[in-house]
Structure 1
Amino acid sequence: MSPKAVSTKFFSAQSWDLSRDSHPRTAKDGLQSNLEAMSLHSIQSWIILGNTYGAYCNYASESLFFGIATRTAHIIGLAKPLPDETAVSSEVRLRTWLSLYMIDRWSSAGLGTPRQMSDRPASQGLPRMEYVFRDMQPKQELWPAESSAPGLWAHMITLVEIFGPIQDLNRLLATGSVDESFLVSAVSSLSGRLYDWERQLPADVRLNADNLTLHTSRGQARTFVALHLGYYHYGSLLYFQYLDASASTLPYAAIYAERCREHASAFSDLLRTSYDEGCEAMYNIVGHMAVVSSSVLIHTLLLGDEAQINPAKARLESNFKILMRLRQWWPSIDSMTQKLFSFQKACLRSADNHTHKIDRWMVKFLLEHGNVLGDKTADITFDTPSPHSIAGDSPQTQRILARDRFTRQALSELQGSTVYTA
């Protein structure tokens, strides 16, 4: 497989219909008929097929195909170097292996299943600079001089290594049995890892306008954007618990809650920038990340300071417009968007103040994009008064009621939107 072989054209959901005998179904039949012919190419084919089925919300098949790819990679020793292999073939094998590593972190989260791949050994190599790799010849044996620096995908891998522990922490929180001292220590450790990851980025990988221009010139702007969208998403997940009133007494609660809002807002801003600058983040899972960002923005609409309201509303509108654009490519975006509206209903109809508490339902919302969320408040009609309405006529109560009405109106407008108008 040449360095240029992987292209977004293989993932165009518009050209594939899984309801009849089409390209992915034919590919699946062909792969299944020759299942024991294990090779690098078959692994890559299973990955593409898994992504295609996931785009159509067939997450069970997606996970199955990813699992076949991962097991095949283990059997053929994909992570082990081969004697006399060229620089290009070695890099292709490494990138395929690490793609499975990242897939495993995301796919397992999406269905709430155990991860299949252990943590990456520190001694394992990382992908080199993409634009250098892209221009190499298939049989080139050695890397060009001064090309040993890690590429954007290398930083994606070191970042996704933090994602697994963040998932695990949220799942522990949902059990309701986490000791406070453990929680404080775990969040501090993971927060430090995120901070160190960003601080240690090379100068040309940090997020700024000049670097976006640089990576655009290298043909890597979308990868550059995806890297930083991932960083903001993982931060939102780590700090999300601090949005809930029940966490207000924990150490650094106000600081962590603000970090959650900052990450969610920065995600929205960067996503909008990618569309404005012609380097659109168009991959399927960005829809789920946009939904999580939007859930934090809804919290700001409900409970944020007055100065935060209009920016939050604008970002929420931007997120939703981009979700509508993504829907043209990925049928799975419909179910992701419906989860956002289920979330906002739960917030507006909650029978208590703990609208953002990490429980089993919230973990399904934040992590399990492949599972049905369900309606947390299905037994409450849309016209049910807010629980705050029985709390009297104090200024604080009236402020909350007004904010409830404002938020309902804003989200109703979004539900009526159908087109993207950047």
Structure 2
Amino acid sequence: MANLATGNIPQVILLAIIALSARFSTHAYFGTVDPRARGSEYMRRAAQLLDPSDVSLTGIQVCVLLGACRIVDGDAAGESVYYGMACRMAQLLDLPNRACETRLERETNIRIWHTLVMIDEWSSSGVNIPRQISQPPNDIPLPMEEMAYLSLRQHDAPNPLDTQGPISLLGQMIVLNNIFKQVNQLNVKAAQDQDNTPRIVDVQELTIQLDAWEASLPDYMRDTPSNLAHYAAQGLGRVFAAVYLGIYHYGQLLMYQFLHHDASNNDTTSHFSQRCKTFAEKLCNMVYAALDTPGCDVLYNMVGHILVIASTVQIHTLLFGDNSDEIAAARSRLERNYTILLRLRQLWPSLDFCMMRLKVFHRACIVSMETSFKLDDWMMRFLSEFAKPVNDRNGGDSSWGVGDISITPSSDFDLDSLAILLDTAPNP
């Protein structure tokens, strides 16, 4: 903020920031403009000012911001190009090892590098292309704890005797991102398997990693209401929530292929099915808790994608569950999730695709309940290609019928649409 007050922020960065943030503004200047459209002109001007040959920290930051602008408009290809440029610039600069004059510069470079590695995993899996940073070095320090980073002064000199302090929230995301990468790789292999045999051992090994991560957490980082409130008071509530939205999403992705095995005679696959439901439930509860806690509202567009995946788990319970309490809870979560998705849709154009995907999935369940949750190529696209529409599982174009409504990118979605979704489920 000091740099903003003194005019030291490059105009191109400021324009890109406004392109993303204007949708949240309550200023009268934007009063008559659709929140989803407020950033368009700022994004266009920032893109014009970007010089791809300027291999610099500013260039990296602008590319990341413009990549985010593209994906919220549903332009997965544009996002990938901008993120690809950012990653290439960081590699050319050898960003995490670059000589620095201050501690703040050094730590900022480390944080940006790790952020790019995480972005690369999410973005590349979303368009099904190889990672730009396929083999990141393992010797890059994790980012310092957030409050320590925020307390750094502009001219603090680097200290070669610095040791790694408490792991930061961003550091926890980085650790989990490695698990996410393995989950993606495993699901791709599972979708390609011809014999449809679940890779039980691989899933068990990744489950151990997820559980070990959670067991290693200090008490102040565990998923509790008091910890969420503590981080919210520090201005870090959204970051804390993002850590847990990450692990719960990775967990539901890992176990998703077993979701329809909940009634099987195999104890292992039945256990994985239940774990999938538990991860989805925890994800929903974290979204609710964050939205109910001042300063924690998680209103970024990716929440829409992971909430759609969690909602399909609730649909499974509605269609196949035999416990009235579980069915009632799933119905309640699905109703609240739909309301949240409608709220997010007021901010992010890409939520049109999320809403379409949820309804397409529901249609797939109606057409064939037995194959709807099979982990095949269609399901892989559904789970990972978050910025693109998916075709009807049995073929079709970009318009699908569910009940008595037709769904296209321009369709209106409201609570009546949810009623259609719920009407196919048995009442508890």
Asked if these proteins are the same fold (TM beyond 0.5), I'd say: yes
Cα gap change, 1:17 to 1:413, in 2 (>3 Å): closer
1:348 partnered with 2:354: no
Q: Which moved more, 1:280-289 or 1:18-27?
A: 18-27
Counterpart residue number, 2:68 = 51
Cα gap change, 1:201 to 1:149, in 2 (>3 Å): same
Of residues 218, 225, 234, the one that matches 1:209 is 225
Cα deviation, residue 136, structure 1: 2.1
- TM-score between both structures, scaled by the size of structure 1: 0.84
Q: Which has the higher contact order (CA 8 A, sep 6+)?
A: 1
1:338 partnered with 2:344: no
Cα deviation, residue 142, structure 1: 5.2
Paired residue type of 2:20: F
1:195 partnered with 2:214: no
Counterpart residue number, 2:303 = 286
Q: Which moved more, 1:301-310 or 1:16-25?
A: 16-25
Q: Distance in 2 between matches of 1:187 and 1:80?
A: 35
1:318 partnered with 2:343: no
Cα pair 1:232 1:263 within 8 Å, conserved: yes
1:271 partnered with 2:277: no
Cα gap change, 1:357 to 1:92, in 2 (>3 Å): same
Paired residue type of 1:353: E
Aligned pairs (5 A) from 1:249-264 = 252-264=268-280
Q: CA RMSD, aligned part only?
A: 3.1
Cα pair 1:313 1:410 within 8 Å, conserved: no
1:235 partnered with 2:251: yes
Cα pair 1:18 1:24 within 8 Å, conserved: no
Paired residue type of 1:342: V
Cα deviation, residue 227, structure 1: 0.5
Q: Distance in 1 between matches of 2:290 and 2:155?
A: 35
Cα pair 1:3 1:92 within 8 Å, conserved: no
Q: Secondary structure at the match of 1:215?
A: helix
Counterpart residue number, 1:129 = 145
Q: Distance in 1 between matches of 2:251 and 2:204?
A: 12
Of residues 20, 31, 37, the one that matches 1:11 is 20
Cα gap change, 1:100 to 1:250, in 2 (>3 Å): farther
Q: Distance in 2 between matches of 1:227 and 1:382?
A: 35
Q: Percent identity over the alignment?
A: 32
Cα pair 2:114 2:174 within 8 Å, conserved: yes
Counterpart residue number, 2:412 = none
Cα gap change, 1:20 to 1:134, in 2 (>3 Å): closer
Paired residue type of 2:42: H
Cα gap change, 1:119 to 1:205, in 2 (>3 Å): farther
1:374 partnered with 2:385: no
Paired residue type of 1:63: S
Cα gap change, 1:86 to 1:250, in 2 (>3 Å): farther
CA deviations on 1:141-190 (whole Å, 9 max, x unpaired) are: 2589998212100000000111111111111121133684x811110111
Count the aligned residue pairs: 387
Paired residue type of 1:413: A
Cα deviation, residue 76, structure 1: 1.2
Cα deviation, residue 67, structure 1: 0.3
Q: Secondary structure at the match of 1:288?
A: helix
1:88 partnered with 2:104: yes
Q: Secondary structure at the match of 1:318?
A: helix
Cα pair 1:131 1:219 within 8 Å, conserved: no
Aligned pairs (5 A) from 1:32-181 = 34-82=51-99, 84-141=100-157, 148-177=165-194, 180=197
Q: Distance in 2 between matches of 1:381 and 1:330?
A: 23
Q: Which moved more, 1:167-176 or 1:12-21?
A: 12-21
